[in-house]
Structure 1
Amino acid sequence: MNIHARALKYFDTIRRCGSIREAARRLHVASSAVNRQLLQLEEEIGAPLFERMPGGLKLTAAGEAFSRHVISVLQDEQRLLAELDALKGIRRGEIKVISVEGLNANLLPAVLERMLTRYPTIKITVRSAGSAQTAQAVIDGDADVAIGFSLERSEALRQCAVGRFALGAIVPPAHPLAQSPQVSFAECARYPLILAGPELSIHHAMKPLIRNHKRPITVLLESASIELAKTLAIRGVGVAFQTRIGIEREVADGLLVHLPLKAPGRLLTELGVYVRAGRTLPPALDAFIRFVEDELEQRAAQEAAA
């Protein structure tokens, strides 16, 4: 079903590609047809929507405003189709999820198992990125839902659910710090450190601790890979830092110990679920968000009890 003006879909594809030729290739139409639709749009609006730059097309101020309208219209079309299918007794739809890497180990598989067991005909695509990139993907309409740590507040985003988890040091059970119920950064800094890269929210959460520590520290590695930091911590190479989210199996198997950081109280970080502000959620997306919310509540309660 194609219930919206062709020009809107053409405009959105040009926006994503930054090129009329590439947009035409993806739409399987002639470049002249795409260009003609764009020119008609610009004539109706009374302003250019793109700047023609040497490296491609860039949205003008009018183009930015128009793009927000187009994203809303096209996402509302997805919602309408899902509702029409629901009226017919058909369960279908597609959900585009973007999340931080650490969720791939345990939390996201648990959510996807529940979602796909309940709604086996829903198509879900998942990709990973840093927290800032997850937010931008939702704002740009490239993803339906973002799950990330400590996202900056934005009028373009709506937070649908949140869990708060303690940021801590992770070490193997044989490490000298492993028997402590919680540790300070100063205690961790006596040992070689593995720090998160600036792409990760952990990097920014720990900045004040590092800045206020007046003694020299030994940083063995700075990386945007949670998996790499976790593996090196298991090997006893250095002290790494993260929440319990993403190391559930290693903690359960006795490979790692998670030690909450004192700063001066517990240092908490938010894991939130976000959609574009003002968007009406299709039934499948709403169901997915409810599953994530349930999982966050369970894990936050488990951590509080521990």
Structure 2
Amino acid sequence: MKSHFDPITLKLFIAVCEEGSIARASQRESIVPSAVCKRLAALEEDLRVTLLARGKHGMKPTAAGTAFVRQARDVLSRMENMYAEMSEFSGGVTGSVRVVASPAAIAAWLPADMATFLSIYRSVRVALKESLSSEIVRSVREGHADLGVCWDASDLSGLETATYRSDHPCVVLHPSHPLATHDALYFEDTLEYESVSVSPGSMMEIMLRQHAALAGKPMATRIEASTFDSACRIVAAGLGIAISPREAVGPTAKALGLTLVPLKNDWANRQFVICSRSQKYTSSSARTLADHLHRLAEGDGIQSNSSPC
């Protein structure tokens, strides 16, 4: 090897792989495209291997490039970890943390919990992105995110986890709906009625379809909604019922005068977890945030698990 790798080149290579374009990568990293090209060319010459395949639809990493981008993410993660831990000796936790979380966690408690963390650790920056559970786990595994917050029914093998909060799926109903007078319902009781599918492709929606199939009564989906807020508004318009976490839809449902009826099924209590890679790949600031979220959930556990719909 003629020279050592520098973090700027590693960041640029990762950006090109993720964006599939030198132009988009240069815009993301605020550097002119010619400088990106020069660094990538020097990198491939230094390694004596082709890292990127250039085609009419953009740029993709070769087999060697895929291996290199994985190593590059690990190196940058370790460097950030080293910097964050050393900075603790000169004035507290600092750095940046990338968090990917499920829509339910963001709609319910995560922003407020993160606000208490940021009020204590003012030098830490947190980037929060919403995604489905399968994408959350992949982002953490591949190093795109430092922490993930998702349902513990996800495949979390190989990741470290800490318990977070729980939510409780319930039936969201217009007050004039025949089921609105019930104190509690089984999911199977709702299958006779037209429904609103919330976040199609999510683990919750997939699970509901599986339970409907087991009951021999496919869901009568009338309309799809991408957010909990829009699902509540569709229910308020009388276009169907929805199954959504009480914690995520509570404020909107109350504002719209909707009725929330708890589900009696055993699975109607979802445990969320904070997931990350092993400690050697996780920065001090990310570990501190994960510990903070876990402690908050532990302290509020009795209240968050016991309140009715």
The normalised TM-score by structure 2 is 0.81
2:128 to 102, 118, 126: 126
Once residues 130 and 218 of structure 2 are traced to their aligned partners in structure 1, the CA distance between those partners, rounded to angstroms, is 34
1:212: how far off?
2.7
Count of residue pairs brought into register by the alignment: 302
What residue is the counterpart of 1:228 in the other structure? 230
Once residues 49 and 271 of structure 2 are traced to their aligned partners in structure 1, the CA distance between those partners, rounded to angstroms, is 42
Is 1:218 the counterpart of 2:183 in the alignment?
no
Bigger shift: 194-203 or 148-157? 148-157
Alignment check: 8 A CA contact 1:99 1:128 kept = yes
What residue is the counterpart of 1:288 in the other structure? 289
Once residues 197 and 79 of structure 1 are traced to their aligned partners in structure 2, the CA distance between those partners, rounded to angstroms, is 35
Q: 1:300 to 1:219 in 2, by over 3 A?
A: farther
Q: Which amino acid aligns with 2:306?
A: A
1:240: how far off?
0.9
Once residues 33 and 216 of structure 1 are traced to their aligned partners in structure 2, the CA distance between those partners, rounded to angstroms, is 56
CA deviation string 1:178-211 (max 9, x = no partner): 4545322231123321123433221111122221
Identity %: 22
What residue is the counterpart of 2:195 in the other structure? 193
Q: 1:32 to 1:302 in 2, by over 3 A?
A: same
SS in 1 for 2:246: coil
State how 1:5-44 maps to structure 2 within 5 Å: 5-27=7-29, 29=31, 31-44=33-46
What residue is the counterpart of 1:75 in the other structure? 77
Of Structure 1 and Structure 2, the greater helix share is in: 2
Q: CA RMSD in A?
A: 3.1
SS in 2 for 1:229: helix
Q: Which amino acid aligns with 1:230?
A: C
Once residues 199 and 217 of structure 1 are traced to their aligned partners in structure 2, the CA distance between those partners, rounded to angstroms, is 14
Alignment check: 8 A CA contact 1:199 1:224 kept = no
What residue is the counterpart of 1:158 in the other structure? 160
Tell me, which stretches of 5 or more residues in structure 2 are unaligned?
Answer: none
The normalised TM-score by structure 1 is 0.82
State how 1:1-306 maps to structure 2 within 5 Å: 4-27=6-29, 29=31, 31-150=33-152, 152-153=154-155, 155=157, 157-171=159-173, 175-178=177-180, 180-215=182-217, 218-234=220-236, 237-249=239-251, 255-262=258-265, 265-277=266-278, 279-298=280-299, 300-306=301-307
Q: Which amino acid aligns with 2:149?
A: I
1:228: how far off?
1.2
1:155: how far off?
5.0
Once residues 297 and 252 of structure 1 are traced to their aligned partners in structure 2, the CA distance between those partners, rounded to angstroms, is 27
SS in 1 for 2:201: coil
Alignment check: 8 A CA contact 1:78 1:282 kept = yes
CA deviation string 1:56-107 (max 9, x = no partner): 1112222222211111111122122212221112543222222222333340
Q: Which amino acid aligns with 1:144?
A: D
Alignment check: 8 A CA contact 1:99 1:134 kept = yes
Tell me, which stretches of 5 or more residues in structure 1 are unaligned?
Answer: none
1:115: how far off?
0.5
Q: Which amino acid aligns with 1:294?
A: R
